[in-house]
Structure 1
C-alpha cells in the first residue's frame, strides 16, 4: 500500500461560488445583528447585577438581625447576573469576530481572513456546545439530588 499518494479529497479543490458568497455575506449580517443583541443583553445583565448588589447592600443595613437573607436576595442574585453576563459575553464576541472577519474576507477576497472567520465560528459553536453539556450535567445532578433528597425525607 502506497501512503505517499494523495487521496481524492486531498487533491479536491473547493469552489466558493458567487451564490455561496452571497449566503455567507447574509450570514455575516445576521451574525452581526445577533452579536450586537448579545452585547446589549450582556450590558443589561451587568446593570442588573450592580442593581442587585446595591439592593443587597441596602437590605443588609435594614436587616441587621438577618444578614443571610439580605446576602441571598441581593448579593447572590447580583453574582448570578454577573456570572451569566460573563458567560453571555463570549458567544457574542465570537459571533461578532466571525461576522467582521467574514465581511472582510469577502471584500478583500482573502483566504486567510476567511479562515479566521471560520475559526471564530468554530469557537462560537465549541463554546455553545460545552455550555450545553455543562447545563445538561447540572440538570442531571440536580435531578439525582432531588431523588436523593426525596428518598431521605421518605425514611
Structure 2
C-alpha cells in the first residue's frame, strides 16, 4: 500500500493575523488614549516652548531686582536655560507626535478595516518604543558617566 501525503493547503501570499472583536476594541480604545495623550503632549510642548522663550527675560529681571551682587550670574543663565528647555521640548515633541500618529492611524485602521493604516499605526508604536528605549539608554549612560566622574573626583580628593 502506497501512501502519499497530498495536502491541498496552499500557503497564502500574505500570512495574516485575524483580530478578534475584543482585540479591535482594545486597539480602538488604545488609539483614543494615545490621541488624547498626544494632544496633551503637544499642549505641554507649547507651554514649555513659551517658558523657554521667556526664561532669558525672567532671569535678567531677577538679576536686576536682586540686591545680591552675585545675582548677575543669573543673566547668563537665562540663555542656557532657554536652550536647555528648547532641546527638552524637542525631545518631548517626538513622544507626543508618535503617540498622536499611532492613535489616529489605529482608529482609522480598525474603523475602516484598513490594513495599510493598521500597519502604519503599529509602525508608529514601534517608533515610539524605540525612541523611548534609545533615550533611556542615553540617560542611563549619562548617569553612569556622572557616577564615574563623581567617584573619580572623590578618590582624587582623598589622595
TM-score normalized by the length of structure 2: 0.81
The SS at the match of 1:15 is coil
CA distance in 2, matches of 1:70, 1:20: 55
Please say if 1:71 is aligned against 2:71. no
CA distance in 1, matches of 2:22, 2:86: 42
CA distance in 2, matches of 1:152, 1:139: 20
Give per-residue Cα distances to partners, 1:66-101, cap 9 Å, x unaligned. 7654212x1111221111100000010001000000
The SS at the match of 2:137 is helix
Q: CA RMSD in A?
A: 2.2
The number of aligned residues is 145
Give the CA deviation at 1:56: 3.9
Give the CA deviation at 1:13: 3.7
Q: Which runs of 5+ in 1 are unaligned?
A: 1-7
Please say if 1:144 is aligned against 2:144. no
TM-score normalized by the length of structure 1: 0.83
Which residue in 1 is equivalent to 2:115?
111
Which residue in 1 is equivalent to 2:58?
55
Please say if 1:125 is aligned against 2:129. yes
Residues 60, 71 of structure 1: 8 Å contact kept: no
Which residue in 1 is equivalent to 2:46?
43
Q: 1:29 aligns with which of 28, 32, 37?
A: 32
CA distance in 2, matches of 1:86, 1:11: 39
Which residue in 1 is equivalent to 2:7?
none
Q: Which runs of 5+ in 2 are unaligned?
A: 1-10
Which residue in 1 is equivalent to 2:105?
101
Give per-residue Cα distances to partners, 1:36-81, cap 9 Å, x unaligned. 1211221111111012122244467789x97654212x11112211
